[in-house]
Amino acid sequence: MSTALLNGDPTFLGLPVRKKLDHIVFGLTDDGARAELKERMDGAVPYDSVTVFPFSDTGDPWYWAGIYEDLARIKPGLFVLDNVIGALAPPGEDIASSVTAQRLVNSLRPIGDLGIPTLLVTHTPKGTGEGMSVASSPIGGRALGAAARGLIALRNSGKQGRRLQTALNRATEELDIPVTMRRASAENEVPVWERIEPA
């Protein structure tokens, strides 16, 4: 999705890309994720169109203030926080708790006030997640869903294969798109998601 936005592709998974982005900022919580993302994105998107920084909220009340300041200076077209569970302070909080989810949403709200859209990435439950609604699929999805414009779940749906499903709070249509993934090339590990067209 990031490469489609940064390269000004006309569509992504058959859906129109309405606006080309010049810059995306990734806040990554996993060790090694920064190097992996850099390797994936090098040569796949315009030079200097991606900024990556390690994200680790220690509970210091000034931490988020520094994030807001940096994002206000960079003015990206999108901020991606990957992943939500790794961004919680203190670590080990229950993201499915409405209190925890509301605190995270309150921390992210000033980013939206800067006019910067935010994409939160989280994990889905294993096994028991199948058959649940899109809104409850991500861990904390129900708690975060009330404040989010929409939720997107990439799911393995048994015999139906991988599907990208959405639950949008402010739209008239929900999507259920069959998808597949391949590497961009033998040398490039950027995952290319493609819509599976009906036979």
Q: Annotate the chain with DSSP letters as a single string.
A: -HHHHHHT-SEETTEE-----S-EEEEE-STTHHHHHHHHHTTTS-TT-EEEEE----S-TTHHHHHHHHHHHH--SEEEEE-TGGG-SSTT--TTSHHHHHHHHHHHHHHHHTT--EEEE-PPPSSTTTTS-GGGSSTTHHHHHTTSSEEEEEEE-GGG-EEEEEEETT-S---EEEEEEEESSSS---EEEEE----
How many alpha carbons fall within 13 Å on the CB side of residue 30?
13
State residue 113 phi and psi, 5-degree precision: -65, -25
What global pTM score does this model have?
0.84
The DSSP bridge pattern shows strands 118-121 and 15-16 to be: unpaired
Q: Give the model confidence (pLDDT) of 100-120 as tens digits.
A: 878 888 888 999 999 999 998
The token pair that represents 15 in the structure block: 């859906």
How far is the C-alpha of 175 from the C-alpha of 166, rounded, in Å?
Answer: 5
Q: Give the model confidence (pLDDT) of 175-194 as tens digits.
A: 888 998 888 788 877 778 88
How far is the C-alpha of 29 from the C-alpha of 32, rounded, in Å?
Answer: 9
Is residue 58 predicted with pLDDT exceeding 50?
yes
State residue 45 phi and psi, 5-degree precision: -135, 165
- Identify which has the larger pLDDT, 128 or 117: 117
Mean pLDDT highest for which of 4-8, 10-14, 29-33, 105-109? Answer: 4-8
For the chain, give the mean pLDDT: 82
How far is the C-alpha of 101 from the C-alpha of 96, rounded, in Å?
Answer: 7
How far is the C-alpha of 131 from the C-alpha of 165, rounded, in Å?
Answer: 12
Residues of the chain with pLDDT > 70: what percent? 84
Is residue 59 predicted with pLDDT exceeding 80?
no
Q: Give the model confidence (pLDDT) of 22-48 as tens digits.
A: 999 999 998 888 888 888 888 889 999
Taking residues 5-10, what's their average pLDDT? 95
